[in-house]
Amino acid sequence: MRASVILRSRDEAARLRLTLASLRAQSEEAEIVVVNDGSDDATDDVLREATRLAPLVRIDHEKAQGRSRAANAGAARAGGDVLIFLDGDTLAGPDFVARHLAVHRRLDGALARGETLHLRQTRLFRDPDALTPMPGEEARVSAMSAADLARARVGVDEVAGDFASIEARAQEGIYPGAGPRRLYQLEMAALREARGCAVLWAAASGSNQSVPRAAFLDSGGFDDELSINEHRELALRLTQAGLAMAPADGARSFHMIHRRGWRDPLVETDWEARFYARHPLPEVALLAVLWASLADAPAVPAPARILSLPQLAEAARRVGVVGLEAARAAHLCACAEQGAALG
């Protein structure tokens, strides 16, 4: 069994260079497929250098086509039995590939999600290796102490020879931005402890997720019209087709975050109509309630907060299929009535 790592990247040259170095340092070899999705920066130079160091499959889009189309293009060219999706600004831990493959060797028909962590200290830097500041952040970077700069730096030398020093600086987390650590923890807890939960597809990750290539192609891949939550929509279809969500413990990825580019599904909500049209399920309608419940100051009334995937499954069971907004309203109403009865 062999894996193909599908890397989607757009205008992330400096970070992509580090990501590729992390894939060359894997304990188990994998095919690397890079989809350059219309980059205008030095990505071409990075890929030329990387090709001299190790074989890779390269796909270049003249114009950006978006996350879903880029991932689908990479999957179509991949030759591995298992596809692992990763982003061009995300490092793979040394056992990343081996841990994903271990799940697929143990479980036939698995959809495996690894451990997603963040390197928050890279947010001010265009190049985390050379410590080149992001535009507009020059003054802040110049005021940083030598110790802070050393902590912020992620170098190719560390990626190749001292990854433990990088891992020691990482923090748990996954987007959306409201309560990111809490969301990560509850998703991993469900995958590890609630194997029979009906909504484990909601624990899918946009980066650090693996699937048998045949199952991915049979499903039609990612929905081309989705660029937020495309991974959860795919996971829902795959679990409906019989695949089982499973944790890939020890398959750790490290997002080198920056101050641009990430999108909040609680703010940009266009994805909901497309997702719900394909899957008119109350659990899809209540996803936003779960995420909003995790904020430091949640707008969701306390009795109506959803704080775990089993709670999401139970809330969806009570509500039934009644439409996007109506499902949320029915959930709030039911929780209010339940609270009044208890009071």
Per-residue pLDDT reduced to its tens digit, 204-250: 998 999 999 999 999 999 999 998 899 999 999 999 999 999 999 99
Tell me, which fold does domain 3-121+169-256 have in CATH?
Answer: Spore Coat Polysaccharide Biosynthesis Protein SpsA; Chain A (3.90.550)
Q: How far apart are CA 133 and CA 121, in angstroms?
A: 12
Residues 3-29 pLDDT 10s: 999 999 999 999 999 999 999 999 999
What pLDDT shows up at residue 180? Answer: 56
pLDDT at 337: 65
Centroid of chain to Cα 220: 20
Q: For the chain, what is the largest distance between any 2 Cα atoms, rounded to a whole number of angstroms?
A: 70
338: phi > 0 → left, psi -120 to 50 → alpha, else beta; which?
Answer: alpha
Burial of residue 322 (CB within 10 Å: 0-12, 13-18, 19+) is middle
Task: Provide the angle, in degrees to the nearest 10, between the axes of the packed helices 270-278 and 324-342.
Answer: 90
Q: Which spans in the chain are helix H? A: 13-24, 43-53, 67-77, 96-106, 138-142, 146-152, 156-161, 163-167, 180-193, 213-219, 230-240, 270-278, 282-285, 287-293, 309-319, 324-342
pLDDT at 294 (0 to 100): 87
Domain boundaries, the chain: 3-121+169-256, 280-342
Q: How far apart, in whole angstroms, are the C-alpha atoms of residue 172 and residue 285?
A: 26
Comparing CA positions, the residue from 314, 335, 114, 290 lying closest to residue 197 is 314
Count Cβ neighbours within 10 Å for each residue of 203-222 and write b for 16 or more, e otherwise. bbbbbbbbbbbebbeeeebb
The string of pLDDT tens digits covering residues 248-279 is 999 999 999 886 655 677 777 788 899 999 99
User: What confidence tier does 332 reach under pLDDT thresholds 50, 70, 90?
Assistant: confident
Cα–Cα dist 72/226, whole Å: 12
Strands 90-92 and 244-256: antiparallel
